[in-house]
C-alpha cells in the first residue's frame, strides 16, 4: 500500500499517526525460509542478514510490511547511512546495523488479513512481535497527529504517516487512506539522482 502526500494533518479524528521512517520499504516473510523483498520486487534477503535472522526466529507463515533503517544515536532514521550499507548488498566488517521498523501485517500465520481493518492488523502485529525486539522495531501509532507532527519537526524526522482507522490494506494502491506529511526540507531533491 502506498502513501498519498498531503501538506497538513487531517482535522477529523478517525486517523492513527506514526513516525515516518526514512529507509527501504521491505516486505518480510517469517520462519525458517524468511525472505525480504523491496518495494520494487528485488530480493533483499542477502542485503540485511540481521533482519532475516530476526524473521527466521518467528513462526512461519506471516508477511510483514515495514522500513529497513539505520538509526542514529537519537533513534532517527539516517537514509544516507542505510544507502551506503545497502549498496554493498550484504554484511561487511564495520557495517551499520539495520533495524526493521514494522508497521503492518498482510498475512498472519498463513491467513491473509489485508481486508481486515487497520486496528485488527495492528493488534495482530503486536501479538506476532511481542517477543521479538532485537532487530525489529514495532511501529505503533498515536491519535494526536498534530502533536506527533510538531515532535517530528522538533526532532528533525522525515515526517508523519496517517492511516485511516477501519481501512483495509490495498496492495500496490496509492490510497487516500494512507497519507504522509513530510517535514519541509526533509528529503533534498538531489537524493534520488544517485
**Residue 77 is assigned to a structural domain of this protein:** yes
10 Å CB burial of residue 179 (0-12, 13-18, 19+) is buried
Residue 34 maps to a domain: yes
Q: What is the CA 160 to chain-centroid distance, rounded?
A: 12
The residue from 20, 122, 163, 182 that is catalytic is: 20
Alpha carbon distance 54, 37 (integer Å):
15
Q: What is the pLDDT along the chain (194 residues), one digit of tens a residue?
A: 999 999 999 988 899 999 999 999 999 999 999 999 999 899 999 999 999 999 999 989 999 999 999 999 988 999 999 999 988 888 888 889 999 999 999 999 999 999 999 999 999 999 999 876 667 999 999 999 999 999 999 999 999 999 999 999 999 899 999 999 999 988 765 555 54
**Looking at residue 191, what is its pLDDT?**
52
> Nearest 5 degrees, angle CA 76-CA 78-CA 80?
170
Decide if 45 is inside a domain: yes
Return the CATH number at 37. Answer: 3.30.470.30
Cβ-contact 146, 17 below 8 angstroms? no
**In this structure, is residue 131 part of a structural domain?**
yes
With beta carbons less than 8 A apart as the criterion, state whether 138 and 73 touch: no
Alpha-carbon radius of gyration of the chain: 16
In a domain, 191, yes or no: no
The pTM is what?
0.91
Active site residue 127: no
Give me the domain span that covers residue 70. 2-186
Q: Judge whether 119 lies within some domain.
A: yes
Within-domain flag for 176: yes
| Count: domains in the chain | 1
User: Does a structural domain hold residue 193?
Assistant: no
134: nearest Cα among 158, 85, 99, 159: 99
Amino acid at each position: 500500500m502506498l502513501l498519498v502526500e498531503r501538506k497538513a494533518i487531517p482535522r477529523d479524528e478517525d486517523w492513527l499517526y506514526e513516525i515516518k521512517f526514512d529507509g527501504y520499504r521491505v516486505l518480510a516473510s517469517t520462519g525458517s525460509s524468511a525472505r525480504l523483498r523491496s518495494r520494487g520486487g528485488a530480493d533483499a534477503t542477502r542485503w540485511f542478514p540481521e533482519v532475516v535472522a530476526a524473521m527466521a526466529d518467528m513462526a512461519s507463515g506471516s508477511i510483514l510490511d515495514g522500513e529497513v533503517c539505520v538509526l542514529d544515536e537519537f533513534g532517527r532514521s539516517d537514509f544516507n547511512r542505510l544507502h551506503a550499507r545497502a549498496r554493498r548488498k550484504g554484511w561487511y566488517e564495520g557495517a551499520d546495523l539495520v533495524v526493521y521498523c514494522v508497521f503492518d501485517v498482510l498475512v498472519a500465520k498463513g491467513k491473509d488479513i489485508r481486508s481486515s481493518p487497520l486496528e485488527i492488523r495492528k493488534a495482530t502485529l503486536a501479538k506476532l512481535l511481542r517477543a521479538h525486539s532485537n532487530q525489529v522495531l514495532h511501529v505503533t501509532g498515536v491519535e494526536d497527529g498534530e502533536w506527533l507532527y510538531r515532535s517530528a519537526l522538533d526532532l528533525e524526522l522525515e515526517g508523519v504517516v496517517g492511516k485511516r482507522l477501519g481501512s483495509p490494506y490495498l496492495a500496490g494502491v496509492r490510497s487516500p487512506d494512507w497519507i504522509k506529511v513530510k517535514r519541509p526540507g526533509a528529503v533534498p531533491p538531489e537524493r534520488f539522482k544517485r
